[in-house]
Structure 1
């Protein structure tokens, strides 16, 4: 992590298995980002996308959603920017591939309820494989999806995990920027 944010110990990470963390939600969200599930770092700290090496926060900034690079501990600043975070599956695991198809299917149903309740304008799933399994869309690709989700426009982004070597922070930032442009949100990065 960074200065002032100690790294979880091995024992804390091991104890975080199967833990859940609260969503970051607010009224009138422009975009609700949907992770696959919390990693152990996130479960140990209570912060979404907390593991060093996860490129969510850099991609969010490079995509123009935030005026500066936020630390995961600053996640509660997102609703004021019209942004929120939830997960497809609630339980923490070391790797997303530890989830079962049933957990992703159940997660898609719960996500649909969350979207119907909180009514974001856009839902951005960060992980095409989880989206394909959870929503039964085996041929889905990145970008806008043809069907809405509980009234929200739907978009699929690449997984920002450091394990996803197909995308760099720069290419992830470009994918996030494409979504930001589609939403009509301004580029919040300083000129």
Structure 2
């Protein structure tokens, strides 16, 4: 019988942008189709991620998705909980998520904050339903790293969009 390839057994779609000394690491669920095609984080045409970073002062200007490798210069890192997933959040098989691996990667670089860019990503990490989570700062930590849940910047999640939790994060980071 031939072994079935799973999300967890495939190579990462997008490289982690992680290093010690970061202020915040943003964590999504996995790469959307447009991001996978562009080989860049948050590359969907309706995605507000890059706009939100500039709007709340986490970056000095609006960056393009292809400029994602420059983010550590501004204290920002990037990762996903399902590194090999391509597609929309609702298509994600939870078996392709690696919450323990995420915690290990975050503990190794010890950013001040881990910010999930959707309730879905946070719920996959915490192992709970999305309705059990509120936006904002969470009680659990990863060693010294504080965890925050943000509204998804995806165009598909516009009904839940608010910049306020993004502003709160920027304020906590002193920006």
Bucket of the pairwise TM-score, normalised by the shorter protein = 0.7 to 0.9
Moved over 3 A (4+): none
Q: Is the 8 A contact 1:43 1:92 kept in 2?
A: no
- Unpaired stretches in structure 1, ≥5 consecutive residues: 1-17, 187-191
Q: Is the 8 A contact 1:64 1:180 kept in 2?
A: yes
In the other structure, the counterpart of 1:91 is 84
Other structure's SS at 1:112 match = helix
In the other structure, the counterpart of 1:132 is 123
In the other structure, the counterpart of 1:176 is 166
Other structure's SS at 1:146 match = strand
How far residue 123 of structure 1 moved from its aligned partner, in angstroms, is: 0.3
Q: Is the 8 A contact 1:40 1:92 kept in 2?
A: no
Matched pairs, number: 164
Q: Is the 8 A contact 1:39 1:95 kept in 2?
A: yes
Q: Is the 8 A contact 1:119 1:151 kept in 2?
A: yes
In the other structure, the counterpart of 1:7 is none
Q: Is the 8 A contact 1:36 1:89 kept in 2?
A: yes
- Unpaired stretches in structure 2, ≥5 consecutive residues: 1-10
- Alpha carbons of structure 1 residues 35 and 133: separation in structure 2 relative to 1, 3 Å: closer
How far residue 136 of structure 1 moved from its aligned partner, in angstroms, is: 2.0
Deviation larger for 132-141 or 118-127: 132-141
2:147 is aligned with 1:154: yes
Please, what is the CA RMSD of the aligned residues?
A: 1.8
2:30 is aligned with 1:40: no
Q: State the alpha-carbon separation in 2 of the partners of residues 53 and 150 from structure 1.
A: 34
In the other structure, the counterpart of 2:112 is 121
In the other structure, the counterpart of 2:100 is 109
